[in-house]
């Protein structure tokens, strides 16, 4: 079982798009996948065709009320299991203030995933655009972090904070590492995007995924229909790119 968090404290870099479509692409390769939405906005939840306000149990019930993670799992129309999120998750930092071990809530919750029905090949966690308690919970519970990055002028800004956070959290989770940096929303006709892409390669080296996710309108349209891009337009450039990313990740997993 591999647990991968999709994190970057910048908003709008394609975290949620990656979480949903990577989960779908892994599922299309017959992998057993669970996606956990850790963003109160619940975009990953609705992106799989679930109604975020109609969830019987959400990740907030698990983290705040001790509901078993198993009881919050639902089979999504997208073809993989989901633990959804909604606004009930907002304000968790304040709700839990003063309590101890609040960074371990997700790790403890995931320990409940025993039994054959819960043997996932991949657990994908969609993080909020913040280095808040929720994101820290994800990183403590995770093996690898996938960092989506848009190749624009400010892309590298904030990266030092993210790298530092990962380094510091290694004290709590020695298994934590950067699984890969993913170029998203990429427009190869744009000179700046190509320059920044080159800078990222120089900075991250082998940590860069070979797969690049192009800017593709089908990826932006799909969530409005409550679908992953594989359901919405499986021949689109966006769908092809996420399937390629899934293949790259599965190959890496096999090599480990
Ligand atoms: N490769 C892409 N091509 C076109 N639009 C994209 C792409 N990736 C993301 N988007 C759109 O950009 C916006 C931000 O993406 P999102 O995945 O929600 O980012 P984040 O979760 O990092 O805030 C959304 O409207 C999404 O549909
Ligand atoms: Mg998001």
Ranges of each domain in the chain: 2-255
Which residues neighbour ligand 2 (ion) by CB within 5 Å? 15-16
Residues with CB under 6 A from ligand 1: 11-17, 43, 129, 184-185, 213, 215-216, 219-220, 223, 238
What pLDDT, on the 0 to 100 scale, is given for residue 160? 83
| pLDDT at residue 161, as a whole number | 84
Collapse the DSSP code of 212 into the 3-class scheme (helix H, G, I; strand E, B; otherwise coil) and give the result: strand
Residues of the chain with pLDDT under 70: none
Which ligand minimizes its atom distance to the CA of 146? 1
**CA dihedral angle for residue 187, residue 191, residue 193, residue 198, rounded to 10 degrees:** 130
Residue nearest to atom 15 of ligand 1 (CA): 14
Write out the CATH class of domain 2-255.
alpha beta
Measured in Å, residue 127 CA sits from the centre of ligand 2 at 7
Q: What is the pLDDT of residue 155?
A: 80
Quote the pLDDT of residue 205.
94
Of 46, 21, 4, nearest to 185 by C-alpha is 21
Contact 97, 111 (CB under 8 A): no
User: What is the pLDDT, as a whole number, of residue 89?
Assistant: 95
The encoded tokens of residue 185 equal 């929303």
CA 216 to centroid of ligand 1, rounded, Å: 10
**Could you tell me which residues come within 8 angstroms of residue 154 by beta carbon, excluding any fewer than 6 positions away?**
none
Which pLDDT score is estimated for 74?
97
How many Å lie between the centroid of ligand 1 and the Cα of residue 241? 14
Atom 27 in ligand 1: residue holding the nearest Cα: 220
Q: Please give the pLDDT value at position 256.
A: 81
Q: Distance, CA 20 to ligand 2 centroid (Å)?
A: 10
How many angstroms is it from 94 CA to the middle of ligand 1?
28
Q: Would you state the pLDDT for residue 116?
A: 85
- Total count of residues recorded for the chain: 256
Confidence at residue 84, expressed as pLDDT on a 0 to 100 scale: 98
pLDDT at 82: 98
Residue whose CA is closest, atom 5 of ligand 1?
220
Q: What is the separation of C-alpha 94 from the centre of its chain, rounded to a whole number of angstroms?
A: 24
Query: Quick one: pLDDT at residue 158?
Result: 80
Distance CA 191, CA 169 (A): 36
pLDDT of residue 154: 82
pLDDT in tens, 208-254: 999 999 999 999 999 999 999 999 999 999 999 999 999 999 999 99
């Amino acid at each position: 079982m591999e647990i991968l968090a999709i994190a970057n404290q910048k908003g709008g870099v394609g975290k949620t798009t990656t979480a949903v479509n990577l989960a779908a692409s892994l599922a299309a390769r017959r992998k057993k996948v669970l996606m956990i939405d850790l963003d109160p906005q619940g975009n990953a939840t609705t992106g799989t065709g679930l109604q975020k306000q109609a969830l019987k149990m959400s990740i907030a019930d698990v983290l705040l009320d001790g509901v078993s993670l198993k009881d919050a799992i639902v089979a999504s129309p997208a073809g993989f299991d989901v633990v959804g999120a909604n606004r009930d998750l907002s304000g968790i930092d304040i709700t839990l203030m003063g309590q101890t071990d609040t960074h371990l809530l997700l790790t403890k919750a995931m320990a409940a995933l025993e039994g054959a029905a819960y043997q996932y090949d991949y657990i994908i966690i969609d993080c909020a655009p913040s280095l808040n308690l929720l994101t820290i919970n994800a990183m403590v519970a995770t093996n690898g972090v996938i960092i989506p990055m848009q190749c624009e002028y400010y892309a590298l800004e904030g990266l030092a904070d993210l790298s530092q956070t990962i380094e510091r959290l290694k004290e709590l989770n020695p298994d934590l590492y950067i699984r890969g940096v993913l170029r998203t929303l990429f427009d190869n006709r744009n000179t700046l995007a190509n320059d920044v892409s080159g800078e990222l390669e120089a900075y991250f080296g082998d940590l860069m995924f070979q797969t690049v996710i192009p800017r593709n309108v089908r990826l932006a349209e799909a969530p409005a229909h409550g679908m992953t891009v594989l359901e919405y337009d499986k021949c689109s450039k966006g769908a092809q790119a996420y399937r390629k990313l899934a293949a790259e990740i599965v190959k890496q997993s096999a090599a480990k």
